[in-house]
Structure formats: structure tokens, C-alpha cells
Structure 1
Amino acid sequence: MRLELIPWPGPDAPTASTLRERLEHDGFSVFQWTDDPRAHYSPHSHDHDESIWVVSGEITFGAGDRQLRLRPGDRLMLPQGTVHTADAGPDGATYLIGER
């Protein structure tokens, strides 16, 4: 699996409960996380696959030479072991994190 951004296809952002249901259906354990404005995460990786689904605000993930900006409804598939950074936008970000 490689780092993949999946934009939300609809005109309106989905609700957190809709996103949670979809993540759980895909076999993820889910929790919600909120970042303060301009929060920064230095390079790190995880020992599990993650799926990040933005509820509000925006956050940019970096991996290698790729920078992916996620807005409400956008989903990021983050494979196990992928070294990445994250930077919340000027209004912060709330997102669901699915782990498996």
C-alpha cells in the first residue's frame, strides 16, 4: 500500500458519524483527534496502517517529496512504516484516525 489521498466526491462534507461508520466497516479501530492551529508533527512512522479522515479544518501530510493537503471529507491512506510529517492549518483540524 502506498500513501494515497482520496478526495470526498460530494459537494458537502460528510458528518463525523458517517465517516466513523465507513472506517469501522473497513475494519479500522477509530478515534477522533483535534489539532490546535498550526500544530506540527515531526517525521515519524507507525507500526500499523492508518486511515485519516478530516472532519473539519485542514491538515497537510508530507512523505518524501509529496505534500498532501486534506480538507473536510478527504481521506488519507497511510501505510504501516511510512515516515511522514503533519501540519495543521491556520484553524486547526479535527479528524478521525482509523488503525488496523
Structure 2
Amino acid sequence: MPSQTVNVIRWTENEPPTEATLRERMTREGLHPYRWGNAPHDVYGVHSHPYHKVIYVVRGSITFHLPETGEDITLRAGDRLELPAGVRHAATVGPQGVVCLEAHR
């Protein structure tokens, strides 16, 4: 069974990232990112995926809700989330909407 550890890597640089910078980082890892976005306050109900998801927030914010642990993880520009296959989660988009780059392992 794959690891169920959700990993968050916070953006620590002084300047916010560009989409090109984040795309380059993902590509260097052999990932094939695609871009998606949502309007402010959009909600995704609880679900899971059969693949390992890697997400970078390009701009805006999104909060992932993990019902199994009760944890809420808010991601902002530059933050990265690694979500293993099978982890149940929901999400709420922040007040400015969100644009992300996502890839699957």
C-alpha cells in the first residue's frame, strides 16, 4: 500500500512565484503539469483519486480538508501539496479564487 502521508512544502522565497518558475520545477522532476483554476469560494466535496497528486498554487488560495485527520491545509502562492493516491479530501477555494498547476505520479 502506498504511503498515506500528505506533504506540504511552503513557499519561503521573498517574491511570489511565477507560473513559469513552478512549471519548470515540476518538469525537472519529470512531472507533466496542467493548469486549472476556480472562482472564489468554489467547493469540492469529499473524494479521492487513484493517483498521487502534486499541486502548486500559482495565485490565490485553496484549503484542503482531510476528513480522516480533521486537518485543514491552506495553500497560497508557491505552496506545494503532495496528496497520495486514495487520500480522501475536500477543498474550498479562497476569496480571490485560485490558479494551480497539477501533475500526477
What TM-score, normalized by structure 2, do the two folds share?
0.90
CA radius of gyration, larger in: 2
Partner of 1:88: 93
Deviation of 1:27 after TM superposition, in Å, equals 2.1
Aligned length: 100
Runs (5+) with no aligned partner, structure 2: none
Deviation of 1:3 after TM superposition, in Å, equals 0.7
* Aligned pairs (5 A) from 1:1-100: 1=3, 2-63=5-66, 64=68, 65-100=70-105
RMSD: 0.9
What TM-score, normalized by structure 1, do the two folds share?
0.95
Runs (5+) with no aligned partner, structure 1: none
Task: Percent identity, please.
Answer: 39
Q: Which runs of 4+ in 1 moved over 4 A?
A: none
Letter in 2 for 1:33: W
> CA deviation digits over 1:40-98, x for unaligned, max 9?
00011111111110011000001121100000010101111111001100111001011
